[in-house]
Amino acid sequence: MQLEWQQARARASHPQNGVRRPPGTVELRQLAETCSGCGDCVAVCPSGALELDTLGYPCVTSEGGRCEQCGLCADVCTRGAIVYTPAMLRARERALAIDGGAVLCAEDLRAEEPLGTI
């Protein structure tokens, strides 16, 4: 019953054709079940393209910057409301190539000697 009420409220206040969700956002029904409205995706967005709508779901702002599909919002979404898209993964690969692979992977961390051992 609660889910139906949330969906009806979402459709009334924001028809789907008028709301731009971040790339990788799950469909509205699943969004109502998974999104907690924590705002982590908004806080981590480097271009300021995201905000929470009146229901607490992430949306792309018209006043903010342009979504660069960097994937940071998918990184911080612990509930699975925003997932990676192929465009996000390509953008991430380009960023790593430009940075020269500065981001450590799991193999790099295992190869390092433990710090502070006595």
pLDDT (tens digit per residue) in 78-109 = 999 999 999 889 888 887 777 655 554 444 44
> Taking the CB of residue 39, how many other CB atoms lie within 10 A of it?
14
Indicate whether 71 belongs to any domain. yes
pTM for the whole thing? 0.65
Does a structural domain hold residue 75? yes
* More confidently predicted of 103 and 69: 69
93: domain range? 2-111
Residues contacting residue 12 through CB under 8 Å, at least 6 positions apart: none
Residue 25 has pLDDT above 90, yes or no: yes
Q: Give how many domains the chain has, as a whole number.
A: 1
Determine, yes or no, domain membership for 117. no
* Within-domain flag for 116: no
